[in-house]
Amino acid sequence: MSAKKRILSGMRPTGKLHLGHLVGALENWVALQNEYENYHLIADYHALTTNVETKELYQNSIDMVIDWLAAGIDPVHSPMFRQSQIKEHAELHLIFSMLITTARLERNPTLKDQVRDLQMDLISYGHLGYPVLQAADILLYKGVVVPVGEDQVPHIEITREIARKFNNQYGEVFPEPEPKLTKFARLPGLDGDSKMSKSTGNTVLLSDSPEQILARVKTAVTDRQKIRKGDPGHPDVCLIFTYHQKFNLSEVSEIRTNCESGALGCVDCKRNCAAKIADALAPVREKRAYYEAHLDEVKAILADGERRAHAVAQETMQQVRAAMTIG
């Protein structure tokens, strides 16, 4: 086993990724891959908890892997794999489901938020048990650190509880993973919502051209009290100023001064911001174009990641079965 501590992180395959994914996860993954042994999960089983077209899952997975690679994930150090292709995920999920009560899962605040936000009348067994499958995902690879946003911390606590329950009941097999919060966990959507989401169309895609980025940024919500150039602005309530703080840090002070004085209008500010975002994404677009033209290489990377992940998963399940004396 590698001397490095292991991390399991992943995403549901929704297709091409956006700036929120880059800022909230991918930059962190890339930064961590030299320090940790990273495993990256394509959570296609988890995608089934929402109304997803299963025939789109494979292409969505390929599109997502291309964006992962374009953002700088190194497949040599960080295997990428589909959850559905490693059958041990389902087996460990079944075992873990015997170690937690429905009452505990119903207290999960993330579930309550999803029910409210999605206006769900009925909750499927799979949706209720989402954190149990997530625990199996993490512990199958004995992840000791899980990079997450604050909204996922309750899920990690459930993972820790399940690991503790298994170890106490059957013997020491699993670590109790710690959440690793990202510093810049969320980038607001173009409509001013709390996060970017393709379902609401408030995103800038990593694959967008400079022209597409400009067109999207032009639609962004800004300071509602600054109607025209010359009006004093309030940068701290302006979405575009938030983007400047991420993608144009060297000009932030000047932009604040000129916005507050009224010298800088929103149209020019948006155009400048869009250009800086396009510049930041230029290396990603270049790599993405390469991988789109070499799909066989992408598929080979995915197959290699699944082979390596399967070897780890098999070893863990041998230990689980031995501890439970069922194998």
**Per residue in 170-220, pLDDT tens?**
999 999 999 887 654 578 899 887 678 887 889 999 999 999 999 999 999
Q: What is the pLDDT of residues 16-64, one digit of tens each?
A: 999 999 988 899 899 999 899 999 999 999 988 876 788 999 999 999 9
Are 31 and 100 found together in one domain?
A: yes
Residue 117: its pLDDT value, please? 59
What's 42's domain CATH number? Answer: 3.40.50.620
- First-to-final CA distance of the chain: 23
Residue 78 falls inside a structural domain: yes
Are 178 and 308 found together in one domain?
A: yes
Are 105 and 137 found together in one domain?
A: yes
Residue 10: its pLDDT value, please? 92
The amino acid sitting at 21 is H
**How many angstroms separate the CA atoms of 140 and 253, rounded?**
47
Residue 1 falls inside a structural domain: no
Look at residue 12 and tell me whether its pLDDT is greater than 70. Answer: yes
Determine the structural domain holding residue 314 and report its residue range.
Answer: 6-187+295-324
Are 279 and 143 found together in one domain?
A: no
The amino acid sitting at 164 is R
Are 179 and 216 found together in one domain?
A: no
Q: What is the pLDDT of residues 210-259, one digit of tens each?
A: 999 999 999 998 888 888 888 888 999 999 999 999 999 999 999 999 99
Confidence of residue 2 (pLDDT cuts 50, 70, 90): low
Biggest distance spanned by C-alpha atoms of the chain: 75
Are 11 and 67 found together in one domain?
A: yes
- Check if the beta carbon of residue 236 is closer than 8 Å to that of residue 244: no
What's 240's domain CATH number? Answer: 1.10.240.10
Are 99 and 239 found together in one domain?
A: no
Question: How many structural domains comprise the chain?
Answer: 2
- In whole angstroms, how large is the CA radius of gyration of the chain? 22
Which pair of structure tokens corresponds to residue 144?
A: 């000791």
Are 256 and 232 found together in one domain?
A: yes
Are 250 and 309 found together in one domain?
A: no
Going by C-beta distance under 8 Å and a sequence separation of 6 or more, which residues neighbour residue 303? Answer: none
Residue 296: its pLDDT value, please? 98
